[in-house]
Amino acid sequence: MAHQLESESARERRTLYSQFLSESNSAALQALTDKSDANIRLQKVAGLLSQVQLVSSDAVYQKAVDMFEILINMYSVDQAKGKDKVYADFRELFVVVARAELRLRT
């Protein structure tokens, strides 16, 4: 029973982390071409970030915060140029710690 709960928890976290990555990726790509809906896109990512904070390890949460800060900078006027590589680096760090956490807890 306890193992089943752990597996369910891991699946829920995996789904949440996937949603966070998907919304973050979408927001990052949009920031490169159109900043008109920045509030809506960043609000979605912020909502997912709050959920990540509640269920993740400190390491995963910190990498998610780092990604979110880069996204905010990408939506700043004339700040998006050259930030796509920085975002990709921070995204990769989040993925590494999220994968490690999911392996440790499953």
Say how many domains are in the chain: 1
Q: What is the reported pLDDT for 7?
A: 83
Q: What is the reported pLDDT for 12?
A: 95
Question: Which positions of the chain have pLDDT values less than 70?
Answer: 1-6, 77-85, 104-106
Name the residue range of residue 36's domain.
Answer: 1-102
Q: What is the reported pLDDT for 5?
A: 60
For the packed helices 2-33 and 38-55, what is the interaxial angle rounded to 10 degrees? 160
Record the pTM. 0.81
Q: What is the reported pLDDT for 96?
A: 95
Q: What is the reported pLDDT for 83?
A: 57
Please tell me the distance from the alpha carbon of residue 99 to that of residue 39, in angstroms, as a whole number.
Answer: 29
